[in-house]
Amino acid sequence: MEPSKPSYDSLMRHTRRHFLGTSALGLGALAMRGIIGDAQAAPLPKGTHFPAKAKRVIYLFQAGGPSQFETLDPKPLLREKHTQPLPDSVRQGQRLTGMSGYQATLPLAGSFVDFKKYGRSGVEYSDLLSHTGEVADDLCVIRTMHTEAINHDPAITFFCSGNQVAGRPSMGAWASYGLGSMNENLPAFIVLVSQDATKDQPLYSRLWGSGFLPSEHQGVQFKAGKEPVLFLTNPEGVSPHARRGMLDALGKLNADQRAAELDPEVDARLAQAEMAYRMQTSVPEVADLSNESPATLAMYGDSVKTPGSFAANCLQARRLVEKGVRFVQLFHQGWDQHGGLPGGIKRQCKQTDQASAALIKDLKQRGLLDDTLVIWGGEFGRTAYSQGKITKDSYGRDHHPRCFSLWMAGGGVKGGHVHGQTDEFGYNIVKDPVHVHDLHATMQHLLGVDHERQTFKFQGRYYRLTDVAGNVVKAVIA
């Protein structure tokens, strides 16, 4: 029969046991032995189905839904037709949110900001992304992303877990489950949330949750400050030496228990306590940005000095992947510009543009970009028309799931490339649509994973990140 297939229930009982075999590996490296295609994949790294182009991922998630019109998808026609109503022939009766769905008129809004061509490739970026433009030849812009949800909560949940319903594993949890960590002293999936962002729409721990996968695959949130990981720091008055003494005593207690109860599980528990102890050293080390060179710091911009800022988190992300963390996901909120878009998006780009570009340059100069996939984008785009009235110097845009833009870099994607085309209103896709499932499939493909084969049986069904859909977008792969 099928000895290597996992099931929820077998893991339920056997996950802990796997530590016996893998306790020398890191958090998250567990449970994978024998789970994914051993037979076919013998010479390949664990969890992969074919050679990987990317070993790790940094996802710069821009929560709230950045407008494509002021960033990555120039639409001169909207400037020409500024304030004119959106033609019905373009909308085609597609649904709107309850925010602007009852609006009496839907006036088109041209971008307040200009676009320029950058690099040898000549890809256009808005003036708000001039630093990003500097690395244009490393980036692949997808202008034809589309999604199913139209409100933040379902849409961001869909983007982060492949399903609008709560309770599915997140992208990073799948990567941790499938590929494990490359550093025994650090979690495989780490999450960083910008502290300098405008908190317009909330984030939820489900966005980096493990869903029905074992809980060790859930994203571990790193925070700026004294305790980068929850409960990492010893109580006041407990020195590392004292902690070592406790662990030694714990080792003796558990060894005794093991001998009395004949239960290998006890060893696993001790191994986890030891790993926790190592994390107490390794995490503060990796979280300490103080020995970064002035040149590096300057590249990320002034705000890199503010702990927890997007810039500091970008630098942190580089340090983490350098240490072997598999999946780092940043979240930067504040992109939900229903009104006052020009001011809002200027602020957002100022917070993120320079550091995002710096991350690419930094990875590149360290030779990490080739096998690190970086993705920048949000959960949906914004409408070509203004939500609310257009005034002399302001307008807003409602949620738009039918097309939006993001960029990818490194990890085997084409540099200086634009994929897909939207219509001249930026309302519908004309060519090469990329569904969220397609993006997930592509991301997994670059990691060496066949998205149809990395599955987990739960409640009688085989689940995967891409549910029952998803096609690898070969055209973006170098």
| Residue 179 or 188 with smaller CB distance to other proteins | 188
Q: Does 276 bind other proteins (CB under 8 A)?
A: yes
The Cα-based distances of 127 to 15, 112, 131, 288, 345 in angstroms read 51, 10, 9, 33, 12
Q: Which of 273, 289, 469, 475 binds other proteins (CB under 8 A)?
A: 273
Contact 223, 308 (CB under 8 A): yes
Query: To the nearest whole angstrom, how small is the minimum distance from the Cβ of residue 122 to other proteins?
Result: 37
Q: Which strand (E) or helix (H) includes residue 126?
A: strand 123-126
- Asked whether the CA dihedral 178, 183, 188, 189 is positive or negative, the reply is negative
> How far is Cα 54 from Cα 373, in angstroms, rounded to an integer?
6
Query: To the nearest whole angstrom, how small is the minimum distance from the Cβ of residue 103 to other proteins?
Result: 6
Contact 147, 383 (CB under 8 A): no
Beta strands 461-463 and 456-458 are antiparallel
Q: Does 220 bind other proteins (CB under 8 A)?
A: yes
| Residue 233 or 428 with smaller CB distance to other proteins | 233
Measure the CA angle with vertex 79, ends 77 and 83; round to 5°. 110
Q: Does 80 bind other proteins (CB under 8 A)?
A: no
Query: To the nearest whole angstrom, how small is the minimum distance from the Cβ of residue 147 to other proteins?
Result: 15
| Residue 115 or 458 with smaller CB distance to other proteins | 458
Query: To the nearest whole angstrom, how small is the minimum distance from the Cβ of residue 379 to other proteins?
Result: 12
| Residue 361 or 453 with smaller CB distance to other proteins | 453
| Residue 49 or 131 with smaller CB distance to other proteins | 49
Contact 68, 426 (CB under 8 A): yes
The residue to which tokens 């960083």 are assigned: 192
| Residue 120 or 252 with smaller CB distance to other proteins | 252
Footprint of other proteins on residues 171-200 (CB under 8 A)? none
Footprint of other proteins on residues 96-125 (CB under 8 A)? 97-105
Q: 195 in helix, strand or coil?
A: coil
> How far is Cα 174 from Cα 128, in angstroms, rounded to an integer?
34
Query: To the nearest whole angstrom, how small is the minimum distance from the Cβ of residue 365 to other proteins?
Result: 33
Footprint of other proteins on residues 391-410 (CB under 8 A)? 398-399
Footprint of other proteins on residues 2-41 (CB under 8 A)? 2-3, 5-17, 19, 27
Per-residue b or e along 204-221, where b marks 16 or more CB atoms closer than 10 Å to that residue's CB: eebbbbbbbbbebbbbbb
Q: Does 243 bind other proteins (CB under 8 A)?
A: yes
Q: Which of 80, 263, 285, 302 binds other proteins (CB under 8 A)?
A: 263
Q: Does 261 bind other proteins (CB under 8 A)?
A: yes
Instruction: Count Cα atoms within 13 angstroms, Cβ side, for 249.
Output: 6
| Residue 131 or 451 with smaller CB distance to other proteins | 451
> How far is Cα 124 from Cα 69, in angstroms, rounded to an integer?
12
| Residue 137 or 153 with smaller CB distance to other proteins | 153
> How far is Cα 68 from Cα 96, in angstroms, rounded to an integer?
18
Footprint of other proteins on residues 153-172 (CB under 8 A)? 153, 165-167
Q: Does 293 bind other proteins (CB under 8 A)?
A: no
| Residue 301 or 381 with smaller CB distance to other proteins | 381
Query: To the nearest whole angstrom, how small is the minimum distance from the Cβ of residue 99 to other proteins?
Result: 4
Q: Does 379 bind other proteins (CB under 8 A)?
A: no
**Which candidate, 349, 331, 337, 396, places its Cα nearest to that of 159?**
331
Binding pattern for the stretch 199-218 against other proteins, x by CB under 8 A and - elsewhere: --xx-xxx--x--x-xxx-x
Tell me, rounded to whole angstroms, the distance of Cα 422 from its chain centroid.
24
Q: Does 93 bind other proteins (CB under 8 A)?
A: no
How many other CB atoms sit within 10 Å of the CB of residue 3? 6
Q: Does 323 bind other proteins (CB under 8 A)?
A: no
Query: To the nearest whole angstrom, how small is the minimum distance from the Cβ of residue 476 to other proteins?
Result: 23
| Residue 72 or 193 with smaller CB distance to other proteins | 193
* Phi-psi group of 178: left, alpha or beta (phi > 0 → left; psi -120 to 50 → alpha; rest → beta): alpha
Query: To the nearest whole angstrom, how small is the minimum distance from the Cβ of residue 59 to other proteins?
Result: 20
